[in-house]
Copies of this chain bind each other. A is one copy, B any other.
Amino acid sequence: MPAIANPSLLILLHHHHHHHLRPRRFATALLPQTLLSLLSSSIRAPALRAHSTSSSAQTQPLSTDNARTGRSGSISSPPVQPDIAQKIDINPPKGTRDFPPEDMRLRNWLFNNFKELYCFEDRGNRRVALRPELTPSLARLVIQKGKSVPLPLKWFAVGQCWRYERMTRGRRREHYQWNMDIIGVPDVTAEAELISSIVTFFKRIGITASDVGFKVSSRKVLQEVLRGYSVPDHLFGRVCVIIDKMEKIPIDDIKKELRSAELSEEVIEELLQVLSVKSLEKLEEKLGTVGEALVDLKQLFSLAEKYGYADWIQFDASVVRGLAYYTGIVFEGFDREGKLRAICGGGRYDHLLSTFGGDNIPACGFGFGDAVIVELLKEKGLLPELSPQVENIVCSLDQDLRGTAAAVASILRQKGQSVDLVLENKPLKWVFKRAARINAQRLILVGSAEWQKGMVGVKILTSGEQYEVKVDELE
């Protein structure tokens, strides 16, 4: 399947000349993704529930430009008393947005996360950023293509991504990311197929199931626990993002954050217990057999058996992944020695396209960076030796024959052969040295005596065999 075209510049926000931050036409497709994909630190801010624009403006100085603005149509109207039975148009002025506290928290959080983005304002006053990942571009493309591409789509892409991060082993500010996504398949067969692709890739480069594993879970596990305790659905994404930090921050901080997300002690204890589950049998004890979480997971493990990669995957309820948009199966590749950070990760994101304003299309995918895998290959001594390889080195024995050597090179190239043409007058010793260094298979020597007969000298460099041949007969 073809790679998708990924322009690297994401337009985040249009910075209006009146300093109102408002989304542009494209921004509807782009911003929400960025919001969602980074939804990790906003939840630390205390949840102000006040919904008035003025409280937003007071608590959030950044929004003053905008938040106090009345609706343009009613600017000259007399002040309206809330107890008067008159309909108030509750919309903000056309083309502007209010930032009630929950939106403002999101906006502050987003702006704070610009730290990790390479973002700036271009000469047309658009706020743009170098893409930190490829999924937003994919989502935009899929929505743009709309119904002209029959589903399912099975697309991959390899593109550069940028994040301004502290650099550690296998984490750089610029990396290439291999993405593979299946758009339009609601069944867990799609996730199974994605993991199969990664396993196939690993096998091809010499990595085995004893080097690498996949931790697999489903976000529906958490969802079912939360629903069991009647925790409202809108808290779900937020809880997932907190849980994802389990291995990075102390458990007490996790609990504190969960409490601030209005979870009771009972729910928090149950959640943490479920998260420690490492087998489907235990999970079944916890959740019963009927929920989608268990059905999906069982099907995935059964498919893995058929595909032949069952030994690569293991259930681990603690895996939730950091991106807020995942809705079902989530997985994460890890090195079994535990020396490196996650090698790859992915999952199902069934609501992402509709969040962006597209149709409600099921989807799943993964991202796989080039940096950690190279570290792993080094670690395992599996880095291949890739020496240069050239079929021919062509050289004239005489300065006057350099053009002729060029003609010979041209003939060989037209036959599809690779040629390193010696462009300078160099002694044969130098030519042999270079031939060895580029692993040339044969040396073609253009000398005047041979050339007068329409012939060239050939030396097979591996065997040392030497002969003369008509130029037309060179294959």
Whether the pair B8, A403 counts as a contact (CB closer than 8 A) is no
Is A102 engaged at the interface, CB distance under 8 Å to the other chain?
no
| Binary interface encoding of chain A residues 120-158 relative to chain B, with 1 for a CB under 8 A from any of its CBs, else 0 | 111110001010000000000000000000101010000
Whether the pair A174, B7 counts as a contact (CB closer than 8 A) is yes
Whether the pair B120, A403 counts as a contact (CB closer than 8 A) is no
**Chain B residues within an 8 Å CB radius of A187:** 423-424
Whether the pair B196, A403 counts as a contact (CB closer than 8 A) is no
Whether the pair B302, A403 counts as a contact (CB closer than 8 A) is yes
Q: How far is the CA of A178 from the CA of B128 in the complex (A)?
A: 26
Q: Which residues of A contact B (CB under 8 A)?
A: 1-2, 7-9, 115, 118-124, 128, 130, 150, 152, 154, 160, 162, 164, 173-174, 182, 185-187, 189-190, 192-193, 196, 200, 302-303, 305-308, 388, 402-404, 406-407, 409-410, 413-414, 420-421, 423-424, 434, 437
From residue A89, how far is it (CB to closest CB) to chain B in Å?
39
**Chain B residues within an 8 Å CB radius of A193:** 406, 421, 423
List the B residue with the shortest CB-CB distance to A407: B306
Q: How far is the CA of A107 from the CA of B423 in the complex (A)?
A: 39
Which single member of B115, B162, B402, B410 contacts A9 (CB below 8 Å)? B162
From residue A466, how far is it (CB to closest CB) to chain B in Å?
25
Whether the pair A424, B189 counts as a contact (CB closer than 8 A) is yes
List the B residue with the shortest CB-CB distance to A186: B424
Whether the pair A164, B123 counts as a contact (CB closer than 8 A) is yes
**Chain B residues within an 8 Å CB radius of A130:** 130
Whether the pair B174, A423 counts as a contact (CB closer than 8 A) is no
Q: How far is the CA of A200 from the CA of B406 in the complex (A)?
A: 13
Could you pull out 10 A-B pairs where Cβ atoms are within 8 angstroms? A115-B123, A122-B164, A150-B434, A152-B424, A185-B423, A185-B424, A200-B414, A306-B404, A307-B403, A307-B406
Q: How far is the CA of A313 from the CA of B249 in the complex (A)?
A: 66
Q: How far is the CA of A423 from the CA of B437 in the complex (A)?
A: 49
Whether the pair B123, A402 counts as a contact (CB closer than 8 A) is no
From residue A92, how far is it (CB to closest CB) to chain B in Å?
30
List the B residue with the shortest CB-CB distance to A149: B437
> What secondary structure prevails in chain A residues at the interface with B?
mixed
Q: How far is the CA of A7 from the CA of B167 in the complex (A)?
A: 15
Q: Which of A7, A123, A413 has the most CB of B within 10 A?
A: A123
Q: How far is the CA of A119 from the CA of B128 in the complex (A)?
A: 11
Q: How far is the CA of A434 from the CA of B196 in the complex (A)?
A: 22
Given A122-B118, A402-B303, A403-B303, CB of A410 within 8 Å of CB of B150: no
**Chain B residues within an 8 Å CB radius of A409:** 196
From residue A208, how far is it (CB to closest CB) to chain B in Å?
15
Whether the pair A189, B9 counts as a contact (CB closer than 8 A) is no
From residue A436, how far is it (CB to closest CB) to chain B in Å?
11
**Chain B residues within an 8 Å CB radius of A406:** 189, 192-193, 196, 303, 306-307
**Chain B residues within an 8 Å CB radius of A185:** 423-424
The 4 closest A-B pairs by CB, nearest first: A120-B120, A306-B403, A189-B423, A306-B407
Whether the pair A160, B8 counts as a contact (CB closer than 8 A) is yes
Whether the pair B1, A308 counts as a contact (CB closer than 8 A) is no
**Chain B residues within an 8 Å CB radius of A160:** 8, 160
Whether the pair A402, B189 counts as a contact (CB closer than 8 A) is yes
From residue A68, how far is it (CB to closest CB) to chain B in Å?
30
Which single member of B8, B118, B200 contacts A413 (CB below 8 Å)? B200
List the B residue with the shortest CB-CB distance to A418: B1
List the B residue with the shortest CB-CB distance to A182: B423
Given A174-B7, A174-B9, CB of A2 within 8 Å of CB of B200: no
Whether the pair B174, A307 counts as a contact (CB closer than 8 A) is no
From residue A24, how far is it (CB to closest CB) to chain B in Å?
16
Whether the pair A410, B123 counts as a contact (CB closer than 8 A) is no
**Chain B residues within an 8 Å CB radius of A421:** 193
